[in-house]
Amino acid sequence: MKLYQLKTSQKLPITIETAWEFFSNPANLSKITPPWLNFEVRTKLPEKMYAGMIITYFVRPLINIPQTWVTEITHVSEPNYFVDEQRFGPYKMWHHQHIFVKDENGGVMMEDIVSYVVPFGFLGRIMNTLIISKKINEIFNYRKEVLLKMFG
């Protein structure tokens, strides 16, 4: 089993409270997800995120093949961080930390730490090298661009 990790960070000129309000609402995820994923939230969402919350999504990550993705919000510490983990979906394991730190010069520094394991052993590792890691980077690069447009 090979564990892969992606770390990204981005400073935005918004308060930590504004960042928390936006990112802790799963309904906003579709706004910062590339259109080619055809991302849909399939769960009726409560007004506020909580640990133990299960969210079902519908995505088309590779070759337009439909995939159900079920995540659980496992940790919540408002407004500092939350963690989502895949319970069912395209990865053997997916653990995503969303961290928000008040910047001393104003604004907020956001950090995403994604740890994942691909399925299918050796073949999955080849697919990760050729396709999967590039697609994950593409998703987070798209997210950065959209957030810059939204929040400046």
113-135: b (≥16 Cβ within 10 Å) or e? bbebbbeeeeebbeebeeebeee
Superfamily designation of domain 4-151:
START domain (3.30.530.20)
Considering only CA atoms, which of 14, 94, 21, 10 is closest in space to residue 57?
A: 94
Does this model's pTM top 0.85?
yes
The structural domains of the chain, with segments of one domain joined by +, span 4-151
Question: Residue 60: what pLDDT?
Answer: 87
Per-residue pLDDT tens over the stretch 100-151: 999 988 899 999 999 999 999 999 999 999 999 999 999 999 999 999 999 9
